[in-house]
Structure formats: C-alpha cells, structure tokens
C-alpha cells in the first residue's frame, strides 16, 4: 500500500471509531435524560394509585348503597366507577413498566381482587333486584369480611413506596452515568487520535520504503555509478514519477559523462602532442593545512621523455620522491601556491638546460619546461 492509501485507511478507521463513540455517547445521554424525565413517574404513580383506590371505594360504596336503599341512583355511581377502575388499573401497570417481580405480583393480585369484587358486586345487585335485601346483604357482609378495600390500600401503598425508592435510586445514578459517559468519550477520542498517529507512522514507513531505492540510486549516481537504474517494478504508484525522473537523470548524466570524457580525451591528446614539457601537481597538505608535498596528477609525453621515464610514470607520485632535483625550488613552489606568484628560471634536466615556468593552478602547480 502506498503512503496515501495507508493514511486514508487510518483516517477512515479513526473517523469510524469517532462516529461509533459519538453514537454511543449520544445513546447514553438520551438514556440518562430519559431517566431524569422519568423522575416524575413516582408522582404520577402516586396520583394514579390514589385515584384507583378512590374509584374502587366509590364502586364498592355505590353497590352497597343500592343494596341497602334500593335506590337506582346509586347504581349510576357504581356503573361509572366500574369502568374507571379497570382503566386506571391498566394505566398504573403501564406507568410501572418495566415491572419488577414484586410489583408484577402486586399488580396481578390487584387485578384479581378488583375482578372478584366486581363479580361479587354484580351478583349482589342482581340478587337485590330479584330476591330482596336479605340475600344481597348476606353477600355484602361476606365481602366486608374479606376487607378488600383495606387489602387494596396496603398493596397500593407498597407500590407507591417501591416507585419512590426506584426514582430515588435512578436520580442518584445520574451523576455516575454522566461520569461514565464522559470517560468513554475521552477514551473514544484518545483511540481516534492514536489510530491517526499510528496510521501516520505506518504511512511514513511506506514512504520510507518507497524513497529508499530513490535515495540509493541518487547516492550511487553521486559516487559515479552512472549506469545504476531503479527497476520499474519497485515502488508504489505515487512515487513512479520520481523513479522515472531519477532514471532519466542517470541517463542524462551518462550522456554528459560521455561528452565530458570525449572532451577530456581531446584535451589530453592536445597536451600530450605539444613539444613543451607540461606537468600538473596537486598540493598535499598536512593536518594543519600546510603544504607538505605535491602529487602529480598529469604529465605529458614530452615531460616523461625529458626525464627519460615511461608514460604515466609520474602520475600519482609525489614530488619529493619522483623529482629530487626540485627540492631547492620546493619552498618557492609553496609560495607560488599560497601567494599566487609565478616563477621563471632555468632548470637542468638530465644534462640539458630548460626554461622552467611555474604558476598556480587551483590548489597546485602547473610546471612547464621549454628548451
């Protein structure tokens, strides 16, 4: 994978982690806010259960009043409260969702008690109409002995106590929920940043691997290996233009080197063809920068012939060893290089007198011998 592809993968992963963190935090905040909004549920349960108790007592009172008096006006109260009791019981059950096991048991018992009371009241009303007050009163007395209203009151109080306790616990858990959500948010942000950093290092590694052959090729070109080339199969797509440019540079350097060598060969032929004795010497310096000797980097054929030496004899040799007859002039040669002076004098070579012309050439000497 290339630098851009690795960086893109890391960025996508970091964005996905950040989005997942944001979604989870949003869900937790919504849940916490919903729990806060449900804090008034205890009050609503209190209200609805009180209403249920009032309606139940009203239903029971209406049925008992009709049986005792036989006045049908009391049946209207009974008929109205019978429907209200069932609806209110359903409302209480929905408010208490999700139901705890104990609350579910209490509500189931309430439903059974209410249904039983409604059935008993309907039977008593029917008997009052058909057989008179004695039989109906007997049913009422049995129901009174069961004490359904007191039982209902006790169960409703237990429901109210449970709802208040649950609301208090929920309210106490709100700071902890926000604290946990904040920590998760920080962890998510930290994970996203870490993924970005790791992807950056991963991409840098890819870039280093892609640039390594380019650097190696450039180093070899700088060291003179003009024929080194980078294979076309090396490197990712995003560095292909750089590889092509480096290879093209190598080809241009080979071409320029060929032209330079051709020119050097021409100049060397000219120097070797001249009858004048010519030699070029480079200054050799010690650790303090002082000239300690001169090294021959080129001597033409006439110079070698004057000293009766073979071709290339002087090349690479130092003056003190190869030209001992120049030692009287060695200090003057140093002054020529250091002070940009010129020396013209006579100098014997192998029994013949020559005119010696010494001049500075870069950090060295150009020596000419003229008969």
Span 120-134, pLDDT tens digits: 778 777 777 776 666
The DSSP bridge partners found for residue 360 are: 365
Q: How far apart are CA 70 and CA 236, in angstroms?
A: 101
Do 302 and 323 meet the contact criterion of CB atoms below 8 Å apart? no
Phi, psi of 128 (to 5 degrees): -65, -40
**For residue 55, how many other CB atoms are within 10 A of its CB?**
21
For residue 276, what are its two tokens?
Answer: 């004048």
Q: What is the pLDDT of residue 295?
A: 94
| Percentage above 70 pLDDT, the chain | 70
Look at the pTM and tell me if it is higher than 0.75.
no
Looking at residue 318, the DSSP 8-state letter turns out to be: B
When the candidates are 3.40.50.1820, 1.20.120.1200, 3.40.50.970, 3.30.450.20, the CATH number that belongs to 274-370 is 3.30.450.20
Three-state DSSP class for 343?
A: strand
- Rounded to whole angstroms, what are the CA distances from 308 to 33, 168, 270, 276, 366? 108, 117, 21, 15, 20
Q: Is the pLDDT of residue 195 over 70?
A: yes
Tally of helices (H runs) and strands (E runs) in the chain: 10, 5
Domain ranges of the chain: 3-187, 274-370
Average pLDDT over residues 199-209: 70
**For residue 297, how many other CB atoms are within 10 A of its CB?**
14
Q: Is the pLDDT of residue 107 over 70?
A: yes
Residue 232 or residue 13, greater confidence: 13
Q: Is the pLDDT of residue 197 over 80?
A: yes
Helix 101-131 / helix 73-95 crossing angle, nearest 10 deg: 170
Q: What is the pLDDT of residue 293?
A: 94
Distance of alpha carbon 112 from the chain centroid:
61
Q: How far apart are CA 337 and CA 354, in angstroms?
A: 22
Distance of alpha carbon 16 from the chain centroid:
10
């Amino acid at each position: 994978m290339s630098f851009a592809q690795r960086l893109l993968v890391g960025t996508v992963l970091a964005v996905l982690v950040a989005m997942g963190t944001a979604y989870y935090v949003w869900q937790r905040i919504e849940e916490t806010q919903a729990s806060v909004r449900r804090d008034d549920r205890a009050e609503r349960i209190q209200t609805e259960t009180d209403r249920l108790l009032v309606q139940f007592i009203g239903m029971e009172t209406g049925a008992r009043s009709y049986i005792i008096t036989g006045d049908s006006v009391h049946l209207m109260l009974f008929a109205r409260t019978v429907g209200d009791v069932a609806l209110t019981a359903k409302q209480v059950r929905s408010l208490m969702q999700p139901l705890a096991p104990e609350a579910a048991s209490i509500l189931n018992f309430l439903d059974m008690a209410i249904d039983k009371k409604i059935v008993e009241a309907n039977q008593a009303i029917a008997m009052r109409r058909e057989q008179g007050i004695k039989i109906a009163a007997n049913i009422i007395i049995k129901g009174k002995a069961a004490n359904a209203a007191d039982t209902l009151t006790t169960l409703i109080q237990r429901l109210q106590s449970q709802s208040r306790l649950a609301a208090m616990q929920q309210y106490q858990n709100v700071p902890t929920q926000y604290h946990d959500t904040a920590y998760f948010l920080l962890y998510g942000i930290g994970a996203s940043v870490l993924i970005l950093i790791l992807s950056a290092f991963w991409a840098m590694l890819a870039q280093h691997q892609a640039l390594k052959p380019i650097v190696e090729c450039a180093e070899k070109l700088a060291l003179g290996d003009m024929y080194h080339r980078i294979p076309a199969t090396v490197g990712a797509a995003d560095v292909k233009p750089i590889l092509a440019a480096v290879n093209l540079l190598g080809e241009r350097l080979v071409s320029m080197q060929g032209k330079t060598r051709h020119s050097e060969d021409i100049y060397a032929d000219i120097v070797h063809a001249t009858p004048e004795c010519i030699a070029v010497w480079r200054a050799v310096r010690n650790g303090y920068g002082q000239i300690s000797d001169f090294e021959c980097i080129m001597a033409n054929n006439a110079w070698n012939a004057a000293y009766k030496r073979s071709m290339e004899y002087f090349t690479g040799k130092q003056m003190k060893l190869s030209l001992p007859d120049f030692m009287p002039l060695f200090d003057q040669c140093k002054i020529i290089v250091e002070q940009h002076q010129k020396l013209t004098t006579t100098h014997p070579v192998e029994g013949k007198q020559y005119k010696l012309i010494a001049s500075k050439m870069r950090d060295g000497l150009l020596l000419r011998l003229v008969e």
